[in-house]
Structure 1
Amino acid sequence: MRPGPAAFAIPGDIATLTGGYLYERRLLEGLRDIGHDMLHLQLPAGFPDPFDAEMAAAVAALRAVAPDRPLILDGLVFGSIDTAGLAQVRAPVIAMIHHPLALESRLVPARRDHLHRTERDNLRLARHVLVPSPHTRRILIDRYDVPGDRITIARPGVERPRLPPAPVAPPLILSVGILHPRKGHDILVAALSQLMDLDWQAVIVGNRWDAVHADALAGQIAASPAAARITLAGQVAPDVLETLYAGASIFALATRYEGHGLVFDEAIVRGLPVVSCATGAVPDTVPTAAGLLVPPDDAHAFARAVRRILSDDTLRLGMARAAADIGTLLPDWGRTTMIASRVLSRHGG
């Protein structure tokens, strides 16, 4: 059966460099490649905190989608759009939930409660839900009352590395993630500041998603005794990132929460030992043979884990081999696309 028409509604610039946007861009491209007539709706960029005019424009755009065109709706919009407006959408709505918005870091209680209620109510209107991980599926079942048979896991694919490993000296600790409190770069900097007796260098890659946090992070690095060893690189070109991955010895992300964490797959497929936190989907994504996980928000524990890998060649090389072996088993984007395609086909696309 020929793939049918569908739509994908995404806020702002689809080329934005985050794991979520990369996932959705690859999925949109993949669905088109296998024959779906995919309408890309670029919704206002203000979600999940839109102005009134942005909310109205988004509702109008979604209402205009034909009822025979299943509509995948990005989670930043789905979890925060007005429920009454969403109820007016004629197309079958398929929610794309990377992780519930109420689980973002440093939300005030009133905001957290509002997002939880809105997303819970909106999920009752969704025909189906796509999630990137078993963890997000469990959260939606346990906390949002979504029946399990209405949720499909479409794990992100991963691209094979273009460059062979070429570790640099001193050992490079690489961290990749938007400059946002949830990513825990502040914890990483605090941890690295405790490792001045070891030889290393570190690069933090990620765009300035939260300008206030990014400025605070730059100030924290400048005040650190390790300032000369830590580079806050910001957003970098894909070729530069590929070179950094090839030159790294450790991947470190002190995240406070992840619904999946595409960057972990990118590190593992490149044979990098991972240091991260036992939170959200990270334990499901980072195998024990390939990484060390510590409690979130614990810079001392994070420093100890990095120290272990830097100081123990046998441990580091063993984890690198395990990561490389596991990386050969990770799915490609074609598999992710086919899973989403089957969901669309069941609902008219």
Structure 2
Amino acid sequence: MAEFAFAIPGDPDQRTGGYLYDRRLAAELPRQDWQVRPVRLPDGFPFPDAADLAATNRLLAGLPDDMPVMIDGLAFGAMPEVVARHAARLRLVALVHHPLGYETGLSPQAADRLVASERAALAHARHVVVTSTTTAQTLATTFGVAEAKLTVALPGTDPLPVATGSGDAAPALLAVGSVLPRKDFPALVDALATLQDLPWRLVIAGSLVRDLVEAGRLRAAIDRHGLAERVSLTGEVAADELHALLHRSDLFVSSSRYEGFGMALAEAVAAGLPVVAVA
């Protein structure tokens, strides 16, 4: 069985779409006769400091020559100098969920720096795996990645029982995702505030601690519209809790401004829920 290093920044057990994808990929690779060697990179990506970059350099230097090394894009695009240092010795593969500079809430200068950094780093990748055709097109047209170096590996969805719905007079709406600027849950609350004459209730399931400022914006929007009794924030939920929420919801809603793929939407469709999403 060939050995394959998989480098992921931070806690690999985080319940975001990207980390869930990475964990499933690592679990499935042995079925393709790859022995996966996990490499945990520092937490600071995609904004690493000098210590994070030095530690990452040491971790890559400790891998044997010619080893295939897949690096999650949260780190790969943010360390072009480190990537360049090891590109000739290791078979580096970038795993890109979506470009770092496309994250909502960045200043134009920070976004431009991340785009330039990721473009420089990707030039040193022997191959690039992306999770959607949209991301593949973006990397080919904007980041200069040759189409021959790109492989689209779509996220899958496990079979789910068809949702039964809430059975309530007030439709149960569900939104899923970490509370981050890109998900723009305050805009969802603002939109629903215009429908207060209609019966509905909303559950937002996702981490409230990844961006405390954005979580504060969301809570302020709920309070401003007087919707505390109609909008529930669960925080991050485990897989079985999420499946239970999907099963008893009537409609899935998404205010996300950008998605590399949209795994939460796909899971809602797998459960048979109708979806309303931002274009």
- Measure how far apart 1:63 and its partner are: 2.2
Counterpart Cα distance in 2 of 1:194 and 1:240: 29
SS at structure 2 position matched to 1:248: coil
Give the number of equivalent residue pairs. Answer: 274
Where does residue 87 of structure 1 map in the other structure?
Answer: 84
More strand as a share of residues: 2
- Aligned ranges 1:144-183 → 2 under 5 Å: 144-161=143-160, 163-168=161-166, 169=168, 170-183=170-183
Counterpart Cα distance in 1 of 2:220 and 2:139: 38
Matched to 2:41, the amino acid is L
Counterpart Cα distance in 2 of 1:190 and 1:41: 42
- Measure how far apart 1:107 and its partner are: 1.1
Task: Tell which deviates more after alignment, 237-246 or 5-14.
Answer: 237-246
Where does residue 105 of structure 2 map in the other structure?
Answer: 106
8 A Cα contact 1:94 1:128, kept in partner: yes
SS at structure 1 position matched to 2:250: strand
Matched to 1:267, the amino acid is A
| Residues 224-267 of structure 1 deviation map (CA, whole Å, 9 limit, x = unaligned) | 23321000111122222111100111100111111111111100
SS at structure 2 position matched to 1:227: coil
Where does residue 231 of structure 1 map in the other structure?
Answer: 232
- Measure how far apart 1:59 and its partner are: 1.6
8 A Cα contact 1:10 1:73, kept in partner: yes
Counterpart Cα distance in 2 of 1:32 and 1:9: 16
Task: Tell which deviates more after alignment, 47-56 or 245-254.
Answer: 47-56
| Structure 2: 5+ residue stretches without partners | none
Matched to 1:203, the amino acid is V
8 A Cα contact 2:162 2:272, kept in partner: no
Q: Is 1:185 the equivalent of 2:182?
A: no
Task: Tell which deviates more after alignment, 152-161 or 29-38.
Answer: 29-38
Where does residue 141 of structure 1 map in the other structure?
Answer: 140
8 A Cα contact 2:140 2:146, kept in partner: yes
Counterpart Cα distance in 2 of 1:86 and 1:147: 18
- Measure how far apart 1:33 and its partner are: 3.8
Where does residue 129 of structure 2 map in the other structure?
Answer: 130
8 A Cα contact 2:171 2:199, kept in partner: yes
SS at structure 1 position matched to 2:186: helix
Counterpart Cα distance in 2 of 1:6 and 1:69: 7
Counterpart Cα distance in 2 of 1:203 and 1:231: 5
Counterpart Cα distance in 2 of 1:25 and 1:39: 12
8 A Cα contact 1:74 1:96, kept in partner: yes
- Measure how far apart 1:164 and its partner are: 4.1
Counterpart Cα distance in 2 of 1:13 and 1:104: 20
Counterpart Cα distance in 2 of 1:206 and 1:265: 16
8 A Cα contact 1:192 1:226, kept in partner: no
Counterpart Cα distance in 1 of 2:83 and 2:92: 9
Counterpart Cα distance in 2 of 1:155 and 1:132: 5
Where does residue 308 of structure 1 map in the other structure?
Answer: none
8 A Cα contact 2:4 2:69, kept in partner: yes
Matched to 1:205, the amino acid is A
Where does residue 292 of structure 1 map in the other structure?
Answer: none
Task: Tell which deviates more after alignment, 18-27 or 217-226.
Answer: 217-226
8 A Cα contact 1:171 1:200, kept in partner: yes
Q: Is 1:262 the equivalent of 2:263?
A: yes
SS at structure 1 position matched to 2:18: helix
Matched to 2:8, the amino acid is I
| Structure 1: 5+ residue stretches without partners | 279-349
Counterpart Cα distance in 1 of 2:61 and 2:119: 21
More helix as a share of residues: 1
Identify which of 40, 52, 55 aligns with 1:54: 52
- Measure how far apart 1:68 and its partner are: 2.9
The list of structure 1 runs, each at least 4 consecutive aligned residues, that deviate by more than 6 angstroms after superposition, is none
| TM-score, normalised relative to structure 1 | 0.76
- Aligned ranges 1:270-309 → 2 under 5 Å: 270-278=271-279
Matched to 2:193, the amino acid is S
8 A Cα contact 2:81 2:121, kept in partner: no
8 A Cα contact 2:201 2:231, kept in partner: yes
